[in-house]
Amino acid sequence: MGTHVKLMTKGSIQRNLLSFAIPIFLGNLFQQLYHTTDSLVVGNFVGKEALAAISSIASLTMLLVGLFQGIFVGAGVVISTSFGEGNKEEVGKAVHTSVAFGIASSVLLTILGYYLTPLILTWMQTPVEVYDDASRYVRIYFLGISTLVLYNTASGILQAVGDSKHPLYYLVVAAILNIILDLVFVGVFHLGIAGTAYATVISQGVSAILCFRLLFTTKDLVRVRVRSIKFHPYLLKRVLRLGIPSGIQNSVTSFANVILQASINLFGADAMAGNGAFMRIQGFAFIPITAFALALTTFTGQNLGAREYVRVRKAARFGALFAMILAESIGLLLYFGAYPLISLFSRDPAVIAIGIEKAKISSFFMWALALSHVMTGIFRGAGRSIVPMSVMLAIWCVFRIIFIQVGLSLFLDVRVVFWAYPVTWTISSIIFILYYFLVDWMAQTK
């Protein structure tokens, strides 16, 4: 059994990016499908309060997970750069350092997530009618969080050396399994919101096991050996130097979203459910964004390792344009199809009305969301993680929170919260464009 290792320093830039991004796109599509299935099943079999509970905790789960996932980006950049340089020994050490960090992160995240759940749900002003469901779901989720962390560890290693196909295969398996388990646990055994949490943990566990089975059995340079799993201090330092800014960016953005969710919670279960339903649907517009951001991170890392600077510039232009067109096309579909799509999650008129209002505000700004994330992927691959971290901290966290607080003090309307997203997407996009053209952001890797 072998991995689909792919060196992207030669050949057609467009073909390299598309052949790498399409499996990620399809994988994220299936991943979004099974997260959406959770909401669909709960909204139709349990009720809008349970749907509101799942919707209210999406930002919370990403708050802790985002920190560690960002650090894995740093590990991927180290691996892809060493791979581009042709340094096989360094690749092996970076792989085992990444696995060691994934294991340690799993333990820490499980403990933090389980014991901090009540405190954070209370701080988020989670309504009494959904508190018990939200608490139950989050605690089960975090007890099994190691499955998600370890899957991301393994898939990140594979993607760093150009293999985006195997993570896709395993996500397809997980998605199908999750849908089946959702229907069985909730529809047949009536386990309610806990059933969706069990289904998620089990399906994620299967994908993690399949990924590591490949890494343990492959003959390629990313093979994992149990005896070699340890921290290499100088590589761990590089991983953390590149990854911590990404992790901070992910976690502070999620932190801001937790605050925004608390603001939405003020408007009751209808607003929570309607906003949550649209966010699930909007996740599909985010799929091409994520795919091209990851593709560009790997492509940039490999080509800068090989000192192919012109290829990096050409890839950045192509990837940004392609991702924006795809994301905005989906955004327009969301705008015109908002009613039937929101109706899939709930038949409550108030919930549907909130979801449609969210669609009207966000759909025309998908291009800005795409551009911000694609540029983030490029700068991360170039070892400039501090740049997107600083922009996201300033705009998506601080400015977004100020916008909400000032806006709600002037107009007590949930649309103020909804507008915070497209406004901050646009501002960050403008800043990234200026940085791209005015700063020699590849200089430090030369």
Spatial separation of the C-alpha atoms in residues 135 and 290, rounded to whole Å = 29
d(CA 169, CA 157): 15
**Can you tell me the distance from the alpha carbon of 119 to that of 115, in angstroms, rounded to the nearest whole number?**
8
- What pLDDT score was predicted for residue 290? 81
Q: Supply angle C-alpha 106, 110, 113, rounded to 5.
A: 130
| Alpha-carbon distances, residue 68 vs 162, 251, 253, 388, 412 (angstroms) | 21, 9, 14, 16, 36
17 phi and psi angles, rounded to 5 deg = -65, -45
Neighbours of 292 (CB within 10 A): 32
What are the Cα distances from residue 3, in Å, to 10, 54, 158, 214, 220?
19, 36, 8, 7, 7
Which two tokens mark 12?
């057609």
Q: What are the structure tokens assigned to 218, written together?
A: 């492959």
CA distance 25 to 294: 10
At 226, phi and psi to the nearest 5? -55, -45
Count of residues making up the chain:
446
Query: Residue 192: left if φ>0, alpha if ψ -120 to 50, beta else—which one?
Result: left
- Nearest Cα neighbor of 427 from 353, 372, 354 is 372
Give the HSE-up count for residue 69: Cα atoms under 13 Å, Cβ half-sphere.
20
Secondary structure of the chain: what % helix, strand, coil (to 5)?
Answer: 85, 0, 15
What tokens were used for 124? 């988020």
Query: Which among 331, 417, 319, 299 has a CA at the least distance from the CA of 373?
Result: 319
Distances (CA, A) of 86 to 9, 281, 303, 402: 11, 41, 11, 47
What residue type is assigned to position 283 of the chain?
Answer: G
For residue 34, the surrounding DSSP H or E stretch is helix 13-45
What pLDDT does residue 212 have? Answer: 95
Separation of alpha carbons 125 and 242, rounded Å: 35
Q: What are the residue ranges spanned by the domains of the chain?
A: 13-445
Instruction: Give ∠ CA 231-157-198 in degrees, rounded to 5.
Output: 95
Task: Tell me which amino acid residue 39 is.
Answer: S
**What contacts 227, CB < 8 A, 6 or more positions away?**
none
**Residue 55's pLDDT is what?**
64
Which DSSP letter does residue 126 get?
-
- Residue 154 CA to residue 152 CA, distance in Å, equals 6
CB 163 within 8 A of CB 3: yes
pLDDT tens-place values along the chain, 446 residues long = 566 666 778 888 888 888 888 888 887 777 777 667 777 777 677 766 666 666 666 666 666 666 777 777 788 888 888 888 888 889 999 999 999 999 998 998 899 888 888 887 787 677 787 788 888 888 898 899 899 889 989 988 998 888 888 988 998 899 889 889 988 998 888 888 888 889 989 999 999 999 999 999 988 888 999 999 999 998 888 888 888 887 777 777 767 777 777 788 888 878 888 888 888 788 777 778 888 888 898 889 888 888 888 999 999 999 899 889 988 998 898 889 888 888 887 788 888 888 888 888 988 999 999 999 999 999 988 888 889 989 988 998 889 989 988 998 898 888 888 999 999 999 999 999 999 999 888 875 44
* pLDDT for the residue 446: 42
DSSP state of 442: T
CB burial of 415-435 (b: ≥16 within 10 Å; e: otherwise) equals ebbbbbbbbbbbbbbebbeeb
Look at the block and give the residue holding tokens 């939405």. Answer: 264
